[in-house]
Structure formats: structure tokens, C-alpha cells
């Protein structure tokens, strides 16, 4: 116990990343028309048409949850689930402003009831349930409503046998709800297991930013995990790390591209290809008609099919010595074959 | 443990004190935060060494390193095998550095999961002791998946078939605490705190001023009594007069009574019932308003904690 050690490691990878410096993580402006990277100007219409990606430099602007639903869904749109749920104020919390005031302000400025929108939709003809977070509503923070809506989305997707798509954009747990906000991490992780029980996949898309208790709960438990270019993905933000450890962080610290190198995400996907990419992977993972996930696992079905094929192949090889055939033919020790075999 | 009867009387006495005590207000709340991280307060190993007749500590996550901020191993508890896991703080400067101030990295949570897996396979209960200002905020921890390690530890605790008890013994802050907190029973020591973030962290983020930690503590009210009221913990474990730091032996004795009782109750349930109750326990946390469906969904308790 008296041995002196230390836990601050600087890996070779990190040193190598110092060579890949990029711009600082950007601040979010929901409806900005000017690209912070290259200063190109866009009308509101152009922004929407371009999926809020700068055609000149590829910078990804923030997207509200409802606009994201429109981007992912078919032209027919989406059916929103549980839009009526609202936050309460269990702590009568006040920081620089009372929490109740913050909620009212957020509702007014965003036109949303909470920091997450859940809906049923089709992504490139693949039916799914989507839960999309909205950074413009109190930094996308997760309080009881976000936790509850996400948990209900998991239950609903599982009961319908539909895959779940989660798009995150959140600073983490909603501090104004205190310890109960922390508990939403447990609630959401537990709820995700309904999907495992129903054998339907969950696709997570990490948008800028995904940090704190959201990254440390459901956001890091996707079966397939995509990240948008430049998204900050971290448990602790760069400022907290620099203040705590006095480390000097590279400018691309925690960004999607770095987290791909770190093995924390499966791919960095441009928003203009995102719906296509999700549709494709959902198609790959979808079951053909008659392949019922609830009766037998695919691995078991394949094993049964494979055993039958081996049996047929063996039957077709009469030149093999009898003893060897008996040994490898499935089921050869019982039924009529058993009678032919010398004891 | 030595004298059970005496311990029982003591528990009742302290429990009465807790029950009758007034709701702590502002100044008290800050004192409570200080008490929760008192340098002489018993830490994880102080409890393990007193609760267990024997303890075999295990090291390493089998992927990368050993994390000294997280202690995990198998203990002999009331003549039964029980897995004990918890964040470990240090007392002097050297030990604090070695234990990284009780801030575990991904290796710590992966070591915890490794031990939980064995416990589950061998059918022994899992007891976690929570005492951390948060998971370690470092670039290296992020590179090796701090977020995913915590979420998977939460997931693994939820999936365990064996009885599980989590005890907040000091400071329980942020996801780093919850990573060990998803259990059938969650106990909290009288003077410990359990919060979404440390007062200092909240101060910097919400007040944009590092000196407002006291205000933050008062806003979060992260005391054991409040956590009980919110339904976050199932029981408040009394501490010796003046706090656990005044008498480690007695603090461990009282905890032993609560812990052994919780494990006995849980042992009488089937694994399926335990998991169903565990899911329900966490699912109902977090009050909401449903303007269209009227009120409801509000959870938590109205009554003060029983002893
Ligand atoms: Zn641009």
C-alpha cells in the first residue's frame, strides 16, 4: 500500500496523434447560417437541404431532434411517441436560475417538451424505432424524462421486434435533477437489455457532443456505433481533464476521428450518408421471412442445416470404408443403421 | 464480529437519533460533505478487513493493467464466500497518489467486472463499497474507453444472477460511483453523500465559478436521508457518534449488521425474482409530469428513513 505508483499514462498513440492537430471542438449554434470553419454563408433553406453540413468544407452543424427524424425517415415522416412527458423539479433546484425557469425557457426556445424525441419511422424502407437527443434543449442533458422515454423506446422496440436507432447529442446527466439524474444511467442501461431479449439490434449514432453520463451509459452500448465527423465523444471533457491532470491535450482530443483510432466507434459517417448507412446495416441484420428470432437462434439453425448437409454428403460417398462412414454420419448409431453395424 | 448484542443496542440508539434528527440545512450540508470525505474515515479496505475473516485481493483487468483505485477480491464473510469490490482512497500523500484519489480508470471497472463474472459463475454474492469523487478524468482513460467500461459495469451488475448489495461508504459521485451501484439493495452510511457530480465539479459548470462548491452542495442536498427519500437507497446505515472516523471498529460492526441482514433477505429470493425486483427498483426512479395523463409517476418516499 505504501508503494508509489501513478495512473497517468501517455500512450504512443497519443503522441502520434499530436501530429494530427485540427480545429478546437466547436460551439453549437442550432440555426447558424455561417460556417465557423470556412465562413461560407447559407440560407435557412440551403442549410436544411444540405442536412446542415457545409458543402464547402464538410463541417457538421447541430441538428434538432425533429429535423434529424426528417433526415432519417421516409418522406411519409415519423410518428412521435410520448411527446407529452415533462420534467419535474424534485430538488427545487436553483443555480444561477431556478430549474423550473430553465425548463420553461427551453420549451419556449426549442418548441420541444424535452431533450429527446422518440418516434417510429422507416429508414430506407427499414422499419425502426428512433430515439434522437436534442442538444438545443438544456444541452441535451438526461433527466428523468429522457431516461423514461428512452426506456419506453427500448420496451416498445422490443415488443414490436423493431431495431432501435439512438442518436445522441448530450452533455451528460442533467445536474438540476441531482442524484435522480444519475440513476437514469442505470435505468437506460437496464432498459436496453429488452432489445437483447427480443434479439433486435441497436444502432447508436454519436453526434456532437456525447459526453459524461450519456457516453458512460446507453451511448456506449450500441451493437453498431457510428459517429458524426468532428463529434466530441468523451466521459470527461477536455477542460475537466486539463484542469485535473494538467495534461496538454491535442486539439482533436475525444473527437470522432480520434475515437475511431482508439477503437471506441465502428465508423465515422458523414451525415449525408448516414440514413443510407443505417438502412444498409439494418437490412443486413434484418431476418428473412420465416426466420423467427424467438424460436431458435440463427447459429442453431445454421448448425442444424449444416449437419443435414454433411449427412447428405456422406451418403453420397459410398466408397468410404464403412466404419469411417458410421463414425461421421449423423445419427448413424440408431435406427436402421444400427442394425447393420457389427457389435 | 465481536459482540452482536451490544452492536444491536447501539444500532437502535443511533437509528433513533437519525430518525428524530431534523432535516440538515445549508451549513450542515457542507459539513456533511466534509465528513463524507474525512481523511480518517474508514475506506474500502478498512471495512473489508473487519467484515471478512479472510480476504484474497485480486489484481489486474487481464487486458492492460492493475488499477489501484479499485480493490476487488474474494472474502470469507460469516463463513460464506462473498466478492467484495470498491474504490480505494489513500491516507497519506504517497498512498493517495498510488490510489489515484479513489478515481478508477477503465482498468478498475474491468477488474471489477472480471471478479463479478467469477462470483456469478461460482454463485457467491457481490458486495460493492462506493467511495469516489468520480471516475478518473484523463486522456489515457478516455482512449481506453472510460465511458464504455462504466456502462458495461452497470450492465454487468444488472445482469448478475447472484444477490448484490452496494454500500455508499463515503463519497459517491458521478458515473464513477454508479458503475458499482446497480444492486438489489443499495445502502448508504449516515454521513456519506451520493450525487450526480462532486460539489466542486458542479460549481465550475453550473455557477461558472470554482469557489461555489458550498452552494452546489446545498443545491444537490446529496445526503443519505434525502437519497432515502428519493428512493435511491434502501436503508441508511447509522454511524458511531461523531461519525465513522471516530471508531472504525464500531462503524464496521454496524455495517455488518445491515449487510448480513440484506444478504440473508436476498438469499431467500430466487434469481429471477431478484432480477425482476432489481429492474423495477431502478426503472421507477425519477419523477415526471404527464400533463395529459394527470400527475402520477412521481416516486420516492414521504417518510424519513427507519433505522
Ligand atoms: Zn464550411
| Distance, CA of B212 to CA of B201 (rounded, Å) | 10
CA distance B100 to chain A (A): 7
A307's grid cell: 449437419
Which residues have CB less than 5 Å away from ligand 1 (the ion)? Answer: A 35, 37-38, 40, 54, 56-57, 59
Mean pLDDT of B53-79: 98
Q: What is the pLDDT of residues B104-150, one digit of tens each?
A: 999 999 999 999 999 999 999 999 999 999 999 999 999 999 999 99
From the CA of A53, how far away is ligand 1's center (Å)?
Answer: 8
| Distance, CA of A218 to CA of A227 (rounded, Å) | 14
Confidence of residue A14 (pLDDT cuts 50, 70, 90): very low
pLDDT at A295 over 60: no
Q: Do A182 and B279 lie within an 8 Å CB cutoff?
A: no
Phi and psi angles of residue B263, each rounded to the nearest 5 degrees, phi first: -65, -35
pLDDT at B292 over 90: no
pLDDT at A25 over 90: no
Least confident range of A49-63, B19-33, B78-92, B249-263:
B19-33
Confidence of residue B298 (pLDDT cuts 50, 70, 90): very low
End-to-end CA distance of chain B: 20
CA distance B69 to chain A (A): 9
pLDDT at A306 over 50: yes
pLDDT of residue B291: 74
Q: What sign does the CA torsion over A306, A311, A317, A323 have?
A: positive
Under 8 Å between Cβ of A196 and A218: no
Q: Do A175 and B206 lie within an 8 Å CB cutoff?
A: yes
pLDDT of residue A324: 54
Which residue of chain B has the CA closest to A253?
B139
pLDDT of residue A329: 52
3-state secondary structure of B158: helix
pLDDT at A340 over 50: no
B123 conformational bin, left if phi > 0, alpha if psi -120 to 50, beta if neither? left
Under 8 Å between Cβ of B238 and B11: yes
Q: Do A190 and B194 lie within an 8 Å CB cutoff?
A: no
| Distance, CA of B55 to CA of B67 (rounded, Å) | 18
A309's grid cell: 448437409
Residue environment code for B74-95, b if the CB has 16+ CB neighbours within 10 A, otherwise e: bbebeeebbbbbbbbbbeeeeb
Which is higher by pLDDT, B15 or B1?
B15
Q: What sign does the CA torsion over B263, B267, B272, B273 have?
A: negative
pLDDT at A26 over 50: no
Confidence of residue B28 (pLDDT cuts 50, 70, 90): confident
pLDDT at B19 over 60: no
Q: Mean pLDDT in chain A?
A: 85
Mutate to test the interface with B, among A149, A186, A246 (most CBs of B within 10 A): A186
Find the angle CA(A265)-CA(A268)-CA(A269) to the nearest 5 degrees.
130
Q: What is the pLDDT of residues A151-171, one digit of tens each?
A: 999 999 999 999 999 999 999
pLDDT at B9 over 60: no
Phi and psi angles of residue B84, each rounded to the nearest 5 degrees, phi first: -115, 135
Mean pLDDT of B189-208: 93
Q: Do A183 and B298 lie within an 8 Å CB cutoff?
A: no
- Say if residue B28 is preceded by a cis peptide, omega within 30 of 0: no
Phi and psi angles of residue A150, each rounded to the nearest 5 degrees, phi first: -65, -40
Number of other residues whose CB lies within 10 A of the CB of residue B2: 7
Under 8 Å between Cβ of B181 and B160: no
pLDDT of residue B164: 98
pLDDT at B48 over 90: yes
B271's grid cell: 434469481
Listed in order, strand segments (DSSP E) in chain A are 79-81, 86-87, 116-123, 126-133, 164-170, 202-211, 224-227, 233-234, 267-268
CA distance B8 to chain A (A): 31
| Distance, CA of A83 to CA of A105 (rounded, Å) | 17
Which is higher by pLDDT, A1 or B282?
B282
Mean pLDDT of A205-231: 98
pLDDT of residue B89: 98
Least confident range of A150-164, A285-299, B54-68, B291-305:
B291-305
Q: Do A91 and B221 lie within an 8 Å CB cutoff?
A: yes
Which residue of chain B has the CA closest to A181?
B196
From the candidate CATH numbers 3.90.226.10, 3.30.450.70, 2.60.120.510, 3.20.20.70, the one assigned to the domain spanning B4-283: 3.90.226.10
Domains along chain A with CATH numbers: 19-61 (no CATH), 62-285 (3.90.226.10), 303-336 (no CATH)
Contacts of A215 in chain B (CB under 8 A): 147, 151
Q: What is the pLDDT of residues B203-254, one digit of tens each?
A: 988 988 888 999 999 999 999 999 999 999 999 999 999 999 999 999 999 9
pLDDT at A299 over 90: no
- Chain centroid to CA A91: 30
A82 conformational bin, left if phi > 0, alpha if psi -120 to 50, beta if neither? left
Mean pLDDT of A248-268: 97
Q: Do A236 and B146 lie within an 8 Å CB cutoff?
A: yes
Confidence of residue B8 (pLDDT cuts 50, 70, 90): low
Closest CA to B110 of B171, B140, B173, B153: B153
Q: Mean pLDDT in chain B?
A: 90
pLDDT at A56 over 90: yes
Q: Does A14 touch chain B (CB under 8 A)?
A: yes
CA distance B83 to chain A (A): 21
Mean pLDDT of A301-328: 63
pLDDT of residue B26: 64
Phi and psi angles of residue B277, each rounded to the nearest 5 degrees, phi first: -65, -35
pLDDT at A8 over 80: no
Q: What is the pLDDT of residues A87-128, one digit of tens each?
A: 999 999 999 999 999 999 999 999 999 999 999 999 999 999
pLDDT at B305 over 70: no
Amino acid at each position: 500500500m505504501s508503494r508509489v505508483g501513478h495512473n497517468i499514462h501517455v500512450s504512443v498513440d497519443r503522441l502520434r496523434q499530436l501530429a494530427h492537430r485540427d480545429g478546437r471542438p466547436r460551439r453549437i449554434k442550432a440555426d447558424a447560417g455561417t460556417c465557423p470553419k470556412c465562413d461560407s454563408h447559407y440560407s435557412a433553406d440551403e442549410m436544411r437541404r444540405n442536412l446542415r453540413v457545409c458543402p464547402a468544407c464538410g463541417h457538421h452543424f447541430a441538428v434538432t431532434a425533429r429535423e434529424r427524424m426528417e433526415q432519417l425517415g421516409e418522406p411519409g415522416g415519423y410518428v412521435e411517441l410520448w411527446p407529452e412527458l415533462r420534467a419535474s423539479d424534485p430538488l427545487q433546484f436553483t443555480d444561477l436560475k431556478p430549474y423550473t425557469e430553465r425548463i420553461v425557457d427551453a420549451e419556449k426556445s426549442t418548441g420541444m417538451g424535452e431533450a429527446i424525441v422518440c418516434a417510429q419511422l422507416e429508414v430506407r424502407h427499414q422499419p425502426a424505432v428512433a430515439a434522437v437527443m436534442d442538444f438545443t434543449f438544456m444541452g441535451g442533458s438526461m433527466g428523468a424524462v429522457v431516461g423514461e422515454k428512452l426506456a419506453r423506446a427500448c420496451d416498445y422496440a422490443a415488443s414490436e421486434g423493431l431495431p432501435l436507432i439512438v442518436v445522441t447529442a448530450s452533455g451528460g446527466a442533467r445536474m438540476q435533477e441531482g442524484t435522480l439524474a444519475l440513476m437514469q444511467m442505470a435505468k437506460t442501461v437496464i432498459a436496453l437489455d429488452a432489445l437483447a431479449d427480443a434479439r433486435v439490434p441497436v444502432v447508436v449514432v454519436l453526434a456532437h457532443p456525447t459526453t459524461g453520463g450519456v457516453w458512460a451509459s446507453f451511448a456506449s452500448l450500441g451493437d453498431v456505433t457510428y459517429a458524426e465527423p468532428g463529434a466530441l465523444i468523451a466521459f470527461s471533457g477536455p477542460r475537466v481533464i486539463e484542469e485535473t491532470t494538467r495534461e496538454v491535450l491535442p486539439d482533436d482530443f475525444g473527437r470522432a476521428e480520434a475515437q475511431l483510432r482508439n477503437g471506441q466507434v465502428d465508423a465515422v459517417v458523414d451525415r449525408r450518408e448516414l440514413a443510407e448507412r443505417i438502412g444498409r446495416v439494418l437490412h443486413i441484420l434484418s431476418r428473412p421471412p420465416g426466420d423467427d428470432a424467438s424460436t431458435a437462434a440463427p447459429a442453431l439453425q445454421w448448425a442444424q442445416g449444416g449437419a443435414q448437409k454433411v449427412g447428405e454428403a456422406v451418403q453420397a460417398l459410398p466408397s468410404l470404408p464403412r466404419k469411417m462412414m458410421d463414425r461421421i454420419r449423423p445419427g448413424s448409431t440408431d435406427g436402421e443403421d444400427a442394425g447393420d453395424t457389427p457389435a | 464480529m465481536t459482540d452482536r448484542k451490544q452492536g444491536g443496542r447501539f444500532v437502535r440508539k443511533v437509528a433513533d437519533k437519525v430518525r428524530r434528527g431534523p432535516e440538515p440545512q445549508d451549513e450542515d450540508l457542507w459539513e456533511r460533505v466534509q465528513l463524507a470525505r474525512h481523511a480518517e474515515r474508514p475506506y474500502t479496505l478498512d471495512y473489508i478487513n473487519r467484515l471478512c475473516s479472510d480476504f484474497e485481493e485480486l489484481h489486474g483487468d487481464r487486458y492492460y493493467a492493475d488499477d489501484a483505485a479499485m480493490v476487488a477480491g474474494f472474502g470469507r464473510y460469516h463463513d460464506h464466500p462473498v466478492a467484495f469490490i470498491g474504490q480505494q482512497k489513500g491516507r497519506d500523500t504517497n498512498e493517495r497518489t498510488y490510489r489515484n484519489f479513489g478515481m478508477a480508470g477503465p482498468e478498475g471497472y474491468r477488474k471489477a467486472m472480471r471478479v463479478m463474472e467469477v462470483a456469478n459463475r461460482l454463485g457467491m454474492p457481490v458486495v460493492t463499497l462506493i467511495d469516489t469523487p468520480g471516475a478518473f478524468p484523463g486522456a489515457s482513460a478516455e482512449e481506453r474507453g472510460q465511458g464504455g467500461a462504466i456502462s458495461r459495469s452497470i450492465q454487468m451488475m444488472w445482469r448478475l444472477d447472484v444477490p448484490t448489495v452496494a454500500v455508499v461508504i463515503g463519497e459517491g459521485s458521478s458515473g464513477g460511483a454508479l458503475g458499482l451501484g446497480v444492486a438489489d439493495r443499495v445502502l448508504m452510511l449516515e454521513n456519506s453523500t451520493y450525487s450526480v457530480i462532486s460539489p466542486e465539479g458542479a460549481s465550475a459548470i453550473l455557477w461558472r465559478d470554482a469557489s461555489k462548491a458550498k452552494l452546489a452542495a446545498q443545491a444537490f442536498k446529496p445526503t443519505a436521508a434525502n437519497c432515502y427519500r428519493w428512493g435511491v437507497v434502501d436503508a441508511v446505515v447509522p454511524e458511531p457518534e461523531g461519525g465513522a472516523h471516530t471508531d472504525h471498529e464500531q462503524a464496521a460492526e454496524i455495517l455488518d449488521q445491515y449487510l448480513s441482514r440484506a444478504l440473508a433477505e436476498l438469499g431467500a429470493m430466487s434469481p429471477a425474482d431478484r432480477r425482476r425486483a432489481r429492474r423495477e427498483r431502478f426503472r421507477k426512479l425519477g419523477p415526471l409530469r404527464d400533463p395529459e395523463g394527470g400527475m402520477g409517476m412521481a416516486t420516492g418516499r414521504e417518510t424519513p428513513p427507519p433505522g
